[in-house]
Amino acid sequence: MAVDRDHVLRSAAALLTRRSTATMDEVAKAAGISRATLHRHFAGRDALVRALEALGIAECESALDGARLEEGPAADAVRRLVQEIEPAAALLAFLYSENQLFEGDQHQGWTRIDDRIATLFRRGQADGEFRIDLTPAWLTEALYGLLASGAWAVVEGRVAPKDFTHMIVELLLGGALRREES
C-alpha cells in the first residue's frame, strides 16, 4: 500500500500545530500509519519538520500569489494576504516556534517570501500609505509575529476563527498606516 506523503504531512501539521511536543508515535497514529512507515519517509523529527517547512513555504507562496500583492492600495493587499494565508497560519506558527532547528541555514524559500512581503510594504511607503519610520523588514517581521500569535490564539480557543483576519490586519495597519500630523 502506497503512503500518501501529502496526507502524512498534513496530518502531522494538524497535530503539531495543536501539540508541538507530540512524539513521532503520535504523528504516525494521527496519519493512520505505523511508526516504522513514518520513519521510512522521515528519518526523524528534524526531517519531518524540514518537510513541513517545505509545505509551509509552498502554502505561503500560494497565499502570496492569491493575494495579488501588486494590485490596488497596499493596505488592501495586506488584507488579502492575511485572508489568503489564514488556512496555513497554524502551520506557520508551529514553524515559527521551530526556527532554532534552522539557525544559520535559512531556506531560500523564506527569503523569497520575505522579499515579496517587504516589497509590498515598500510600495505602501512609496505611495504614502505606510509610515516611513518603520522599515519594510520590521513590518514584515511584525506581520509574521501577528500571524503566529493569532494562529495560536485561535488554536487554543481564545479567539474566534472568524476574527483572525480582522484582528491581525487592524492591529498591523493601525500601527503601520501613515497619519497626518496634527
pLDDT for 104: 60
The whole-number pLDDT of residue 105 equals: 61
Q: How many domains does the chain have?
A: 1
SS in 3 state form for 140-158?
A: HHHHHHHHHHHHHHHHCCC
With respect to residue 83, please indicate whether it lies within any of the assigned structural domains: yes
Q: What is the mean pLDDT of the chain?
A: 90
Q: Model pTM greater than 0.85?
A: yes
In the chain, which residues have pLDDT < 70?
1, 99-106, 180-182
Give dist(CA 32, CA 30) in Å, integer: 5
User: Which CATH number belongs to the domain containing residue 133 in this structure?
Assistant: 1.10.357
Domain encompassing residue 112? 68-176
pLDDT value at position 4? 87
Span 53-68, pLDDT tens digits:
999 999 999 999 999 9
Q: Is residue 9 part of a domain?
A: no
Q: Is residue 7 part of a domain?
A: no
